[in-house]
Structure 1
Amino acid sequence: MTRKCICEICNCGRHHCPHLPTGFYDKTLQPCLLTEYHDKYPAYGGLKPPDSFKPKHEYLNNRAKMDGNSTFKLDYVPHEITRRPGRLQHEYRPKSGEIDHHTTYKTDYNPHKVKPVQSIRPAQTKPGKGGKVDTVPTYKDDYRLWEIPKRKPKTQPAYCPPAARFGNPSTFQDDYGPKGYALRESLKPPNAPRVSDVPFDGLTNHKISYVPHALGERYVRPQDEYKPSDKPFESLTTHRRDYRGLHGDPTKSCKPEHGKIGSDAPFDGNSEFRDRYQPWPVTLPYVHKYPDYVQPDGPMDLNSTSHLDYVGHKVKPPAPFKPASARKVHAPFQGNTTMKEDFKPWDVKKTEIFKRGEELGIPPGKFDDLTTFKANYIPHQINPTQSCKPTNAPLHSTTPFDGGTMYRIEYTPKRLEICPASYPTPPGFVYENTDARGHKFFHKMSASEENLAVPNEMHLPKEVAVVS
């Protein structure tokens, strides 16, 4: 009997063992060589790896001495360098004579003897009692009005407009004079209708070459009737068919147990602060005591400096400078102003418009209402063109539609091969054991075991019906 694994029984390449070790303490395990690459790609002998073209990293000694010549040293030709001639500066020669230290400020601004400025601030006086107050301010006492004579208006001579016409022609009027216009000859062809004496035959290439063909009736394909399947639905998915879960122990929690931490002895109330830091005697700070308020004897004098020194005066309210609104002037209003007297309006005539002379004269007769179209148009009889469009009729043919395609002619139904590893138990094999790496091994059934075998759960048809 030959033992085979699921990896070896599968012929579709989608079924394989998990290849995960389940025996953690088994140290005698050999490496698993059941792979698709190991089976399909055998090792070849007598082949050497390709040689590398990379230079070897070796130290090269006993070489010639380096000359130290570079491209710059070999190609560069030194030239004689001469110093650039500098600019010659003239020798400084001082001028003869003495230097005049006079400036414009000294010549124009002569010094003057200036007396110290007297203070304008009035002497400080103390307010007297019972005296009369001088109501004349400093402005009226120091600044007097000057008698300024009234300025006479300046008389101007009367303006006399010139009697002659303004005769300054412009540059445009001097250089560009009026010129006559010459009519250009029209190169436009005459708008005359071209009439042909040959009648129109109405023949086209389509009418001459087109041959109508008779169309038969259209073949209508009958619709196939729906036939439901007699076999029940298995509700088998890829996950149910391929997935095989391994039974294992549930995971254990790594969380420590919640136990009580501490002692049941009562707390005595002592701490490090209470043991090391003892209370010190502290004296109270000094507080200054203010003497008690004693109310003075006698009545209170409510007279102030303003009440004693201020003397009231009878002052009239100032008269307003605004003129009374009821004042009316019955004299007539003089509307003469300096603008009206000095600037008189000129008698200016309107400039004439430069008009071009009419080239075409207006006929004196009555308009006869005859246009060029009415005079030259000749009516022609219109023959409607015949439509060359084919009639919108359905195309029918009496020959039946064969419906033959390349797929129907050349396709032959093939038998659907099912991978034996997709069954829960491969047909023709009996489960033997599972090794430490997770490989399930099966051996072929003998004649006695075939009679006792139970058919698998999967039932697939041997052939598949193809419907186009």
Structure 2
Amino acid sequence: MKRLCICEICNCGRHRCAHRPTALYKKDNNACVVTEYKEKYPTYGGYNPPTSLKPKQEHQKDRGKMDGTTTFRSDYIPYEVSRRPARQQAEYKPNTGEIDLETTYKLDFNPHEVQPFAPARPKEKVHTKGGKLDTLPTYKEDFRPWEINKRELTRPEYSYQPPTEKFGNSTTFQEDFVPRGLVPRESFKPPNMAKLSEAPFDSATTNRQAFVPHALEARFIKAKEEYKPSSQPFQDRTTHRTDFQGLPGQLPKSCKPDFGKVASDVPFQNSTEFRDRFQQWPVSLPQVRQLVEYVGPTVPMDMSTTSQGDFIKHEVQPFVSVRPLPRPTKSSAPFQGNTTMRDDFKPWASRRQEMIKRPEEMRKASGKIDHLTTFKAHYTQHDVQPSVSFKPAQAPLRSEAPFDDGTMYRADFTPKRVSMCPASFDSPPGYVFENSDERGHRFFRKLLSQDRNKMAVASNIQSPREVAVMS
């Protein structure tokens, strides 16, 4: 009897055996033929992977001891280098005869006679006449100058006359400018003044009206405790002193070597190399020069100088300073605040300049405004008709006729036989499990008709039949 696997029993294409990647107990070179990948992608034969042309990186071992000779060392032959003999210069001997100053150019060059250069340009022909030359050009002959009189100035003669008064000259601006009266501009800004009310100030506020004063309780004052010193004596032992008593041990010894005094009973010799070699020789004391005793002059000293003897004194008037004498800052007279500026320049009565406006083209109405606009005057009111709505009324559609639940699906649908895949069962009906493969394939053997009836009677299991499904 032929054995069938789950992969071969399945007729829907969704059931496969759980293939194991490797075999645990048996190694077989035969590949798994029953796989989805093998069915869709067949193998191609006669294909070998490309060989790499890259050289192999093999390590070359040491072939022997390295020889330090190079091509230069083997081919180079050293030669004995001797010092180049120096050239001895001959002794210079001046010539006895006279020097010849002739050169090769003077000896080899033969002078030739050269004729003067004749220009190839023809000579300029000058047409001369015996008469006198008239130097009057055409411009002067054809264009005669007009007699133009000098234009008189329209500027009036101005003779400067010095003013008789101080600051009497008037400026061009004062002469040409005509002063106009300044009209103050009317301000439409409301006055920034506080409006005072004549009514008395009402100091009643919401807090004063709604606030209910409550009586405060007396403040609790905590009595101060008196200090009572402790009767027990103060223990100065801390936790560290109590718990950490220290480990018993010896005191550390010093690694410093003992100081041994080097002493000797031999008397100290104060002779040195300097004292032995350098002996003191006698030195004579320097002679002290006796100073001459000072004798003061008996004749009185002449204090006159060269400037006093040669200088002739002239009578010079004292220098008069041009700077005015300082006046006293304080004065009892009253202060006069009048100045030349105040006397000659009197303040003018100036007003604020009126804003320059163009004359209005439209005249303002003098009567009372009636608040009648163009829209109100020409607008004709019409009766508004309400628009008719074509929207259907929202009323439920009710009918006494029975509901027809017949659909095209119910009328045209033909129930078909629902086939179930035998591989969807744990034990496919009509098959008996025989054994399993190391790759995970489960093989079943098909039952005969006699064996199938026996198993159905024993287990009271009916074989699946056609099932009609209704929606």
What TM-score, normalized to structure 2?
0.32
Larger radius of gyration: 2
What TM-score, normalized to structure 1?
0.32
